[in-house]
Structure 1
């Protein structure tokens, strides 16, 4: 690349990195707040907490990178146009293809980045997150049960606690176990703790009683105990063996095990996840084509730039929303699989042709005039307030 291309590439790359960092940080913080109760209530270390939340970053990067690229391209082209650099380039004979070349190079890098995330890194990180979450859920009750609330941990198994004490101790415990249709049992205890043993995970209850009722004849018996171990191994083991489609490696989605009990249940989601991963690298290129088609030409008025930016944002939002909608359809209908690839490909071809001047689309005069009037009013309003602030 020449000096001009390097200049444009540097501008866009810096904007992309900054936008990707800020957007990812904002979304990551919301995920941190969601996971905070889960980890802190189960008495886990701060290192494990940050490790678990950081494993979600590849997922965020794969979703946010195309949008961050779109923002970077829009910002770069708008800045070049605002500083009249695009006008000078056009007057000097620089073609739109040459201006787009460094942006295309950046887009190729982003496509490789998104492809690596979608096909390899994201499934691995989510799967590792599930393993860590299983470890945390070994302390199942301290993780999900809230004081004063009835919580169903499994079908026919409900927990209730009055309060928590330091060291993971639960106070005022009620456990209703109706998983066996022949016998219903209710455990009441003053306190209890989760205990990890070689034989499994146990909820150790202290100072309580067990109320056992036969459903056939209604016979009831009460057993008072000082210490009772309630087996939780089945609950924690279930989380270890079931992996959702998003947690499967790409090779497992391409060639699923026919004996997998979840295959028939989640066959649509298997198909949806696989094709979403393969289509993900197409989205950065589509974002570039949309942004460059709307802002790649030199403009001399602020009104036209405002209308072009607004139009680019609307088209980008509609395109990305359409991608999510098509993905949902694929989960239910196998015949919709081609749409996963057709949507970004058609977008790339159409707006790429617009970028090169092969297709010229003019918006209706009414919309152009309305957009220009709104932008002009906003500009005058801002200028007036600025002038008032300066005089004050």
Structure 2
């Protein structure tokens, strides 16, 4: 009964700390990203509802990345508080083993891992896909309702749009320059045009015009005249395939991060986009599958560092610094492995090897802390000496 109360007491402190840290860190980063989307209101004439929808759809990715760090910081905070209040000393004196104290932290870690798993495997790709569809509709609305007549407006990187005037629901005197492909820039000129929705996709139907395409490699220019031409506005995102001709079946090709995990696991290897970006598909899949391992690794690292009762003279500050450096190095190495996995299948395996190795070593330290503490102290002291000296100078100042 006493141990159950102890578990609930520790779990309550750690859970509150983890939630506060997760909400705080997520809010700060979300605000900085939201400020970058203010152009949706000021430049693209969208409502405040669209603004918050676009920015909130990035939250699952933030939560999935921040949750392991929040758990790590909450574990350090809880253990440091228990030690400062001499509660860890009392527990050890009462015969409670350090690995027994880890039980409530394991409960919180499992919950965090399940949260990260849910976010990365399901919610995050769905959010990115919804974001892509919403951005496509915003761009279509931008062409139809926001661009002022007689003005040249930049719709996307390398795309310039202009029309002379409006006549009812039609745009008259349309000019569009597309420089997204530097090897084949195109210029569209049409007498009239209007936006239409077909099966959930937005098209700009051009009438009586020409398309001028310049091929840099061969230094040739071709001019195509047309009576009617359907320009897929989703292509303005830069991720459409095929041309924009009428009846050519233009469609948006979703990036790996915008596809569900089931789609990545059952990917059609004959898809042209997959053949071109096979490495990115591999990196995205393994990054999602390995994500739930990092909360476990980070919590165990924190517990291995300060899970036992110590005094200030026993190097508790040094142990905290060492834990922070190890977690930081693990996170940086994981990011490097994720980037390298685009080109190397072995690097993709490092996404699993890094947290598994951290889990094994941290567990070993927790179980055999008394024997390993002197050795680890001698190994980490030289590395942390500059930070310790800086802290001492700051205290004297």
How many Å apart are 1:150 and its aligned residue?
Answer: 7.9
Match of 2:266 in 1: 255
Change (3 A) 1:232 1:308: farther
| Deviation (angstroms), 1:354 | 0.8
Alpha-carbon distance in 2 for matches of 1:376, 1:320? 28
Q: Find out whether 1:363 has 2:364 as its counterpart.
A: no
Correspondences of 1:167-206 after superposition (within 5 Å):
175-176=176-177, 195-196=195-196, 201-202=203-204
1:203: how far off? 8.6
**RMSD of aligned C-alpha atoms?**
4.3
Please tell me whether the aligned partners of residues 205 and 231 of structure 2 are also in contact (alpha carbons under 8 angstroms).
Answer: no
In structure 1, what is the equivalent of residue 282 of structure 2? 271
Deviations 1:25-82 (A, max 9, x none): 1111122112221354322222122122111111110000000101100111111112
Q: Is the 8 A contact 2:298 2:327 kept in 1?
A: yes
CA distance in 2, matches of 1:60, 1:187: 43
Q: Cα distance, 1:304 vs. partner?
A: 2.2
1:235 CA displacement: 3.5
Which sits farther off after the overlay, 240-249 or 280-289?
Answer: 240-249
Match of 1:298 among 309, 312, 316: 309
User: Deviation at 1:104?
Assistant: 0.9
Higher mean C-alpha deviation, range 299-308 or range 56-65: 299-308
- Secondary structure of 2:378's partner? coil
The more displaced of 78-87 and 21-30 is 78-87
- Structure 1 distance, partners of 2:394, 2:94, is 33
The reply to whether residue 77 of structure 1 matches residue 88 of structure 2 is no
The C-alpha deviation readout for 1:87-124, integer Å capped at 9, x for no partner, is 22222222101211111110011111111111111111
Does 1:379 find its partner at 2:395?
yes
Match of 1:333 among 344, 349, 354: 344
8 Å Cα contact 2:109/2:299 also seen in 1: yes
CA distance in 1, matches of 2:91, 2:321: 24
Question: How far apart in 2 are the matches of 1:288 and 1:183?
Answer: 52
Per-residue deviation, residues 199-251 of structure 1 (Å, max 9, x unmatched): 9543999xxxx999899999x9xxxxxxxx99673242565521000011111
* 8 Å CA contact retained: 2:188, 2:210: yes
Deviation of 1:14 after TM superposition, in Å, equals 0.3
**Secondary structure of the equivalent of 1:159?**
strand
Counterpart of 1:133 in structure 2 is 135
Aligned partners of 1:137 and 1:143 also within 8 Å:
no
Structure 1 residues 49, 196: closer, same or farther in 2, change over 3 A? farther
Deviates more, 1:145-154 or 1:88-97: 145-154
Q: Secondary structure at the match of 2:204?
A: strand
Alignment length (residue pairs): 363
Q: 1:145 to 1:280 in 2, by over 3 A?
A: farther
Q: In structure 1, which of residues 107, 110, 113 is the aligned counterpart of residue 109 of structure 2?
A: 107
Partner of 1:285: 296
CA distance in 1, matches of 2:121, 2:184: 48
Alpha-carbon distance, 1:336 to partner? 3.0
User: What residue in structure 1 maps to residue 160 of structure 2?
Assistant: 159
Q: Residues 126 and 380 (structure 1 numbering): CA distance in 2 closer, same or farther, change over 3 Å?
A: same
Q: Is the 8 A contact 1:202 1:230 kept in 2?
A: no
Structure 1, unmatched stretches of 5+, are 163-169, 221-228, 382-392
Q: 1:79 to 1:187 in 2, by over 3 A?
A: same
Deviation at 1:353, TM superposition (A): 1.0
The whole-number CA distance in structure 2 between the counterparts of 1:149 and 1:243 is 29
2:59 to 57, 60, 71: 57
Contact 2:206–2:231 (8 Å) recurs in 1: no
TM-score, structure 1 as length reference = 0.77
Q: Are 1:33 and 2:20 counterparts?
A: no
Pick which of 266-275 and 295-304 moved more.
295-304
Paired residues of 1:115 and 1:280 also in contact (CA < 8 A): yes
**Any unmatched runs of 5+ in structure 2?**
164-170, 241-250
How far off its partner does 1:350 sit?
A: 0.3
